[in-house]
Chains A and B, each alone.
Chain A
């Protein structure tokens, strides 16, 4: 049943503690704002999943969970709901799994606008549909004002890994090529601007998107893909460091190959930030054997999420540091893991 086709029983404009009390108010909120919106047959307290879907798609289960907090909860290019779906879907995807089911759990601050919740849930439903996953179970809790920042979302995801797929960072070998699916740092830059306290205005939008279709296209065209990571918090630099450490190789990237928007570069110049460490929410890096580079790039570019795919570097024999970068200037620099959070600097 479509929620717009009947009279709403929810009278409040904002969430009150009553909506977390276990009574009728809570039932109305859950039904109208959440379960009715997620794809039929809707959500259940305990989802019963048939193993037929598993056997059809693969031989091993993949299971992941992630919590999402973002300020502001709505930003250019997405909102916390879209990230919560994309993030968990992408966690499954980069491990080679086909994502099937998600759970969604909401911690809602007293006073949160119900209209905002509806928008967030709407974008979750849209994104889940686009990614081909179902949100099958969930939970809500309401906490007092100040105990949360509007709304926090936790999603867990189950997927299956088809037989024969074995993507793991340890498999990366010297010679393998590192490929990213598009521009770097858009999410981090968009969020920085959207917070408003730095008074910067830009057209940059978050890259928030799910990568399942892209990965399936790639694995069909280039089954030799060794490993993949989504370059979320800590950016491309952190993803590459993790892979290099796990695989016992050094990854060398080429600064001139890095896809960066002019605005993102500008933002980084202004605030003294390094785009390699800016967060992404729809960007992955994967490693393929050199002879499958072209096939991989072609497959990526045939998908919406991979139009900007480009090779950015390669693995080589282990050197003294995990990740180095040939600078556009002809020098070489080390790309280490970030210490703490990147703060805007003036010196």
Chain B
């Protein structure tokens, strides 16, 4: 077994789709009055469009694309700080490719690179560590970005740097956590969500229990899901079966990868290296309590915020950057509007010149809509 192709079997898909249709009919959902299921993770959004799942499932099942794209929700002010760091002559700024095009108020990292900043795309923080070892006279800053899936890899890299006594490696930490924004979404009185497909690779690290509050406090089902198309379809089936049966539970479809209590080594590294920030800004959602992580004092030698005097909330008078007028990212993320219903979609906001959070990365709901045909939808409407 190679754990990929088996989970893309179209024959099995027919069965799951038929089962979804049967349950959807039993609930009595229709195109006009659908069940709203949010896939939280941008990776899921991408898979849904890549395999055309939104068109394959019963028309009474509607996907709402969640905020689980760390690149999309990164506030502009943080991108500005990245650019500021990257433009220091002694710095080699390392980043995942995803973040290159995210616009700041002045420029994106891509533009900063064109202007002469030494910015390198890396596949792994391990590659940033290697750059630090090979360039002892330079300061290597790694742009730590991502949810709980990615958080441990940065922590483990910092621990490794500490063991080796590296003095020219720091992390600009922008790691964020999934549960707090879900709580924020569910607390919104206009929220229309009926259930969730949970990000499997986040749970691979944190397990399934951090989501218990969704079932217990808000009475909504969540199924932790894998990323292959059959995984997603099976998870949708499990969610709507819960809805049909009037259950609200946290279930695990992705048991081959997700242990109930997560990954102990990763959790210990997170505990060792980070501490929660009082609050963190999410583009399109605003400030959310305890939703971001910073590097704790024990590892401050590896904290770019401490070393370079740049930091979240550190700069007095740090201007909150307003979202552009007419941008409906907030509505889209809470399921109250489709990307195509945003007045800016395809007009003031395109992947080349994104205005709002969800157009920024290819994982964002609006960008996915665009890439997989949204552009035509706008043209057709005009």
Contacts and interface: CB of A to CB of B under 8 A. Distances in A.
A/B contact in complex, CB under 8 angstroms: yes
Contacts of A331: 51-53, 55-56, 229
A280 B376 CA distance: 27
B100 A339 contact: no
Contacts of B150: 346
Nearest to B68: A347
Contacts of B43: 347
A269 interface: yes
A320 interface: yes
29 contacts: A197-B127, A198-B123, A199-B123, A199-B127, A200-B123, A270-B123, A271-B97, A320-B373, A320-B377, A321-B376, A327-B50, A327-B52, A330-B10, A330-B14, A331-B51, A331-B53, A333-B49, A333-B52, A334-B372, A334-B373, A334-B376, A336-B373, A340-B101, A343-B101, A343-B121, A344-B123, A346-B98, A346-B123, A347-B43
Interface in A180-200: 197-200
Nearest to A345: B98
B71 A339 contact: no
Contacts of A271: 97, 123
Contacts, number: 97
B69 interface: yes
Interface string B50-68: 1111011000000000000
Classify the secondary structure of A's interface with B: loop
Given A269-B4, A344-B96, A339 B352 contact: yes
A162 to B, nearest CB: 39
Interface in A129-180: none
Contact of B376 (A320, A329, A343): A320
A328 interface: yes
A329 B54 CA distance: 13
Interface residues of A, number: 25
Interface residues of B, number: 45
Interface in A241-272: 269-271
A332 interface: yes
Contacts of B124: 199
A333 B98 CA distance: 22
Contacts of A343: 97-98, 100-101, 121
B241 to A, nearest CB: 22
Interface string A193-213: 000011110000000000000
Interface in A307-347: 320-321, 327-334, 336, 339-340, 343-347
A331 B375 CA distance: 20
Contacts of A327: 50-52
A329 B13 contact: yes
Contacts of A321: 373, 376
Nearest to B150: A346
A-B pairs, top 9 by smallest CB distance, nearest first, are: A331-B52, A343-B97, A334-B373, A344-B97, A339-B351, A345-B98, A330-B10, A329-B51, A198-B123
For B14, B42, B69, B100, the residue with the greatest tally of chain A CB atoms inside 10 Å of its CB is B100
Classify the secondary structure of B's interface with A: helix
A197 B51 CA distance: 30
Interface in B106-157: 120-124, 127, 146, 150
A347 B146 contact: yes
A237 to B, nearest CB: 11
B380 interface: yes
A133 to B, nearest CB: 37
Contacts of B121: 197, 343-344
B8 A339 contact: no
A88 B361 CA distance: 35
Nearest to B41: A347
B52 A329 contact: yes
Contacts of B352: 339-340
Contacts of A339: 350-352, 370-371
Contact of B8 (A198, A328, A336): A328
B225 interface: no
Contacts of B4: 269
Nearest to B71: A347
B249 interface: no
A99 B49 CA distance: 42
Contacts of B363: 345, 347
Contacts of B96: 344-346
B50 A345 contact: no
Contacts of B49: 333
B156 to A, nearest CB: 15
A98 B56 CA distance: 47
Interface string B238-262: 0000000000000000000000000
Contacts of B375: 336
Interface string A3-14: 000000000000
A347 to B, nearest CB: 5
B70 interface: yes
A252 B70 CA distance: 34
B62 to A, nearest CB: 16
B362 interface: yes
Given A271-B123, A336-B371, A345-B362, A330 B100 contact: no
Nearest to B14: A330
Interface string B5-44: 0001010011000000000000000000000000000110
Interface in B167-217: none
B127 to A, nearest CB: 6
